Amino acid sequence: MRSFARFTATAATVVAAGFLVVPGVGLAATTPPSPSGSTGPMAPTTVNYYSASTLSSLYTPSGQAVANPSAAPSVGDYLVSTGNDYIGTHTAHSANVTATDHLFCLFTKAPATATCAAQIATSQGMIFADNSVQNFAAQSQSQIYRITGGTGAYQGAKGSVTVTPIAGGHNADFTVTWSK
């Protein structure tokens, strides 16, 4: 990755867009009964979200904020990011926050490969992605995080979150697709 600014925007987007689950908007859908009357696997649900960054900071292994916004992360540095999440996209989204998110990435390989853990919290529970390896130096337009589980209504969730950074800041659009 060439600049911390590009890295931070991508990471914040990924975090905020990380995993968003909105109460009462389909993500907490119950599994419909199968023809035999037993419950079977839930069909995948896809929802779009806009994530507004509330924090995105890079720290040294000793916990000091990295002062140079143009510096690439070093091995051992870590990123902490949080965001407020809205149903929709950056061009058209709900007025109310429906979830919050958190991302933690530890840089393990130069120039900017990290192992990340991300969570989205709602009133119904939490969806998370653990042990997700991300290459923030890649020139990809989006990043994909694998959903590894959840709590509450989302216990047993599997799927993915595709995060697309919005140019000029730390916000992102993302698509979460999940099922049980």
Per-residue pLDDT at 57:
92
Residue 39 lies in a domain: no
Per-residue pLDDT at 12:
39
Residue 32 lies in a domain: no
The number of domains in the chain is 1
Residue 35 lies in a domain: no
Predicted model pTM: 0.77
Residue 165 lies in a domain: yes
Per-residue pLDDT at 130:
96
Residue 99 lies in a domain: yes
Q: Residue 141 corresponds to which tokens in the numbers above?
A: 């337009």
Pairwise CA distance, residues 165 & 121, whole Å: 21
* Ordered mean pLDDT values, 10 residues apiece, the chain (180 residues): 38 38 35 39 83 94 89 94 93 93 95 93 89 91 93 92 88 88
Question: What is the b/e burial string over 53-71, where b = at least 16 CB atoms within 10 angstroms of the residue's CB?
Answer: bbebebeeeeeeebeeeee
Q: Is 152 left (phi over 0), alpha (psi -120 to 50) or beta?
A: left
Residue 52 lies in a domain: yes
- Read off the CATH number of the domain in which 78 is found: 2.40.350
Q: Residue 93 corresponds to which tokens in the numbers above?
A: 């989204």
pLDDT digits (tens, 9 = 90+) for 80-132: 999 999 999 999 999 999 988 899 999 999 999 999 999 988 888 899 999 99
Per-residue pLDDT at 39:
56
Q: Pick from 120, 53, 49: which is nearest to 88 by CA?
A: 49
Per-residue pLDDT at 40:
60
Q: Do the beta carbons of residue 51 and residue 145 sit within 8 Å?
A: no
Q: Do the beta carbons of residue 155 and residue 148 sit within 8 Å?
A: no
Residue 51 lies in a domain: yes
Determine phi and psi for 11, rounding to 5 degrees: -65, -45
Residue 37 lies in a domain: no
Q: Pick from 16, 150, 26, 19: which is nearest to 90 by CA?
A: 16
Q: Which domain holds residue 159?
A: 4-26+44-179
